[in-house]
Each structure stands twice: as structure tokens, then as C-alpha cells.
Amino acid sequence: MTAPTWIYENFEPAGSAIGYRITRKLDEVQSPFQKIEIYESTDWGNLMLIDGAMMLTTRDNFLYHEMMSHPALFTHADPKQVVIIGGGDCGTLREVLKHPGVAKAVQCDIDEQVTRMAEKYFPELCESNNDPRAELLFDDGIAYMKNAAPGSLDIVIVDSTDPVGPAEGLFNKSFYESCLRALKDDGILVQQSESPLVLLDLINEMRGEMGKAGFKTFKTLPFPQPCYPTGWWSCTLARKSGGFDFREKDAAAKKFDTKYYSADIHRGAATLPPFVAAALGE
């Protein structure tokens, strides 16, 4: 490419699209599971697309990675054992390992090529990959959770793509039963849960499957995410019992830097807009 052009992701369920002005394609790999593309943009840094869907940009990925990790870790009383299913770009792993109390964080993503692309084009996300508490596995996350020791985990983070293709099996009762069994009694499951603006039915369906698996309480937290459809995204937390009050003093006094997450942001995200609260029965 000799001059900037535009790349678009069309999102049929919402009748909308998002576009970025790009200067060139940096790389493309067809893995055994999906096509991964990297582009250089004029204003948003590097972009990663998987099967044509926008996964992350240099400029705004912190929103997603911080909200997928810190709300859950500050809600749990003392998280030590964390598993990330998916998360191949390693941004969520980096945020989890900012918590000094975490003893081990396992990241299990089926596609090694996502991590290799992140190491090359988003190296800032991979800063904690060599942390002695980190373990990177390239394997089937569904099988990993099925084989996890009962009652061994404090937090399971499902950092997956949309519920199609390799990620389809991460949104059903069978997978959630494996998570429930692997979590301790006070454990927390957190999963990216799509757009609360146009995909409330999917969020309700996901929470329904979690309920069928045995989870009793749920909390959906919306947050902005410009590179995803509608620009408004969410994560959903689930527990065997108990509520979602978080350690506000610890969050306010945290010793590490974040760009978006704070105790105030966490508190605000927990207060859903009326139409979302009504749809989710909160």
C-alpha cells in the first residue's frame, strides 16, 4: 500500500460496521484454527483481526484487558490460582500478574499463532510472559478445564473470541460445569459477554447456561470498547454463592498502574443502565 486506505468489519446482527484507516498489512498467518491478520493503522497503532473480526488495537486494548481481570481479582478475597482460557494475546495475563498475591496464572489458548503474533506486533502485552508465576499452554481449553482438579482454582477467566468456531464450546452448560467443579467454593468465573446494547439475548442465554451448570449469582459489567461491535462491551462474573461486593479500599490503594480500571470505575460499572438491568433481571 502506498497511501492510507480503510478496512472494515461488518457486523450483521447490529446492521453496523467499524472501520480503521490503515497504511499497510504487516502480516498474515493461516493457523490450523483461524486466519490471523495484522495491520498498521494511522491512528490506532497495530490491529489484529481473526477471521475478519477485530480482536484488538494498540490504542484501546487496555479497556478490555483491565475489565476482564481486575474486577474479578478485587472481588475475590484472596485470589492465588488463576486460569485464563483463551487470551492468546497475553494482555489479560499481564493484568492478572500485576496482583502480587497471585501465585500462579495459567493461560491456555488453543492457537499458538495468536501468541506468536502478539509477541511480534504487541510486545507490550507480553511483558509478563516470562514471569515465573506464568504458564503458557497451547491446548484445548475445554479439555483443560474438564481435567482440572476439583476445587483447585480461585478464578477462571474466559477470554475468548465470539461464540463461533474454536470458541463455540466455551459458551455452554458442559463447559461451565467443568469451571464450577474446578473452582473453590468462593471462586469466580468471568467471561467476556459481548455487547449489552444489541446482544442482550446472548448475555441472558449465557447466564442461563451458567445457571444450569450450578452457578447461583451473576453480575454483568459493561465497559467501552471502541474496536468491538457497537463500541460497548461487557464481562459477566458468576459465583457458586455470594455477592459481588469488591475490596474497594484495596482497589483504591493498588500499587500498580491502570489506564481505565479504578475503584470508582468498578463501582460505576456495577450500576447497570435501567434497560440492561431490566433485561437481565438485576
Do residues 65 and 257 make contact, with C-beta atoms less than 8 angstroms apart?
Answer: no
DSSP letter string, 188-212: EEEEE---TTT-HHHHHHHHHHHHH
As for how many domains the chain has, the answer is: 2
pLDDT score for 228? 95
74 falls within a domain: yes
Instruction: Residue 45: give its domain's CATH number.
Output: 2.30.140.10
* Amino acid symbol at 231: G
Which residue segment(s) compose the domain that 91 sits in?
61-247+259-277
pLDDT score for 167? 44
pLDDT score for 163? 52
pLDDT tens figures, 114-136: 999 999 999 999 999 999 999 99
pLDDT score for 14? 86
pLDDT score for 235? 97
239 falls within a domain: yes
* Weakly modelled stretches of the chain, pLDDT under 70: 1-2, 161-171
Do 151 and 30 lie in a common domain?
Answer: no
3-class secondary-structure state, position 152: coil
DSSP 8-state assignment for residue 149 = P
Looking at the annotation, which residues are catalytic? 159
DSSP 8-state assignment for residue 272 = -
Do 205 and 89 lie in a common domain?
Answer: yes
Do 73 and 205 lie in a common domain?
Answer: yes
282/265 Cα distance (integer angstroms): 19
With a CB cutoff of 8 Å and minimum separation 6, the contacts of 271 are: none
93/151 Cα distance (integer angstroms): 21
Instruction: Residue 102: give its domain's CATH number.
Output: 3.40.50.150
Do 79 and 204 lie in a common domain?
Answer: yes
Phi, psi of 3 (to 5 degrees): -140, 155
